[in-house]
């Protein structure tokens, strides 16, 4: 992709983030956990768009992120989503790296069904989820993913994903060793099929 298109994509990601920041400031700023739009890099026509449930709790990271936003200094994330080097101790990152591999992850974009950070999924309410959906649809429309991987039950109801898409339980669900192996094979087959 040429540098002009990369710049335009980064400008769009910044605009999207600031629009969501305005929503968060107006309706959800009492949630000190904050929000996050992307888990790493933003690419046009990625091989895979990974949508999981929500970013989880990282209040410490959000404070630094928020400080940049408040100074109008959007900094696009450039790390590979779920890469072993960046997310060393995160269970979802370990699973995604095992299932997909660093090579595919480097050609992927990761985001969430709900951008609000929470300690538990039980803290998400229908209003939060509803407010996030137009932004998620815009992400899907704008980056034009080739395939979509939906991780966790909350994501299964997304109607606007690209085709083909694959749904799986969150890795936090308790799988047997055989179930893990079968799921790994199914994910790898989905990703490698043309």
Count other C-beta atoms under 10 Å from residue 77's C-beta: 17
Q: How many domains does the chain have?
A: 1
> Is residue 172 over pLDDT 80?
no
- Taking the C-alpha atoms of residue 161 and residue 3, their distance in angstroms, rounded to an integer, is 27
H-helix or E-strand spanning residue 192: helix 177-192
CA count, 13 A, side-chain hemisphere, 126: 0
Whether 48 and 145 have beta carbons less than 8 Å apart is answered as yes
pLDDT confidence tier of residue 12, bands split at 50, 70 and 90: very high
Whether 114 and 75 have beta carbons less than 8 Å apart is answered as no
- pLDDT at position 162: 66
Token duo for residue 135: 């932004």
Whether 76 and 14 have beta carbons less than 8 Å apart is answered as yes
Return the sign of the alpha-carbon dihedral for residues 136, 141, 142, 144.
positive
Count other C-beta atoms under 10 Å from residue 88's C-beta: 9
Token duo for residue 94: 């370990």
Q: What angle do CA 81, 39, 156 make, to 5 degrees?
A: 95
Whether 186 and 86 have beta carbons less than 8 Å apart is answered as no
Q: Which residues span the domain enclosing 29?
A: 3-192
pTM of the model: 0.86
> Is residue 149 over pLDDT 80?
yes
Nearest to 136 by CA among 52, 69, 57: 52
pLDDT in tens, 78-130: 778 877 655 555 667 777 888 888 888 999 999 999 999 888 888 888 999 99
Assign residue 147 the CATH number of its domain: 3.40.470.10
- pLDDT at position 47: 92
pLDDT in tens, 17-68: 999 999 999 999 888 888 989 988 899 999 999 998 888 766 677 777 777 7
Q: Is 76 helix (H, G, I), strand (E, B) or coil?
A: coil
> Is residue 1 over pLDDT 70?
no
Minimum mean pLDDT among 26-35, 43-52, 145-154, 155-164: which range? Answer: 155-164
Whether 155 and 167 have beta carbons less than 8 Å apart is answered as yes
């Amino acid at each position: 992709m040429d540098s002009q298109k990369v710049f335009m994509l980064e400008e769009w990601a910044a605009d999207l983030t600031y629009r969501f920041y305005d929503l968060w400031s107006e309706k959800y700023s009492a949630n000190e956990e904050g929000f996050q739009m992307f888990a790493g890099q933003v690419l046009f026509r990625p091989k895979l768009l990974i949508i999981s449930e929500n970013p989880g709790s990282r209040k410490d990271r959000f404070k630094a992120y928020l400080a940049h936003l408040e100074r109008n200094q959007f900094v696009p994330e450039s790390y590979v989503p779920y890469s072993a080097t960046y997310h060393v101790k995160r269970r979802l990152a370990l699973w995604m790296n095992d299932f997909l591999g660093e090579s595919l992850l480097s050609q992927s974009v990761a985001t969430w069904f709900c951008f609000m950070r929470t300690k538990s999924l039980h803290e998400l309410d229908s209003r939060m989820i509803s407010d996030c959906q137009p932004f998620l649809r815009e992400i899907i429309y704008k980056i034009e993913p080739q395939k979509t991987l939906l991780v966790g039950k909350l994501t299964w109801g997304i109607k606007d994903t690209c085709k083909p898409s694959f749904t799986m339980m969150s890795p936090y669900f308790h799988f047997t060793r055989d179930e893990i192996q079968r799921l790994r094979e199914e994910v790898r087959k989905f990703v490698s099929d043309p």
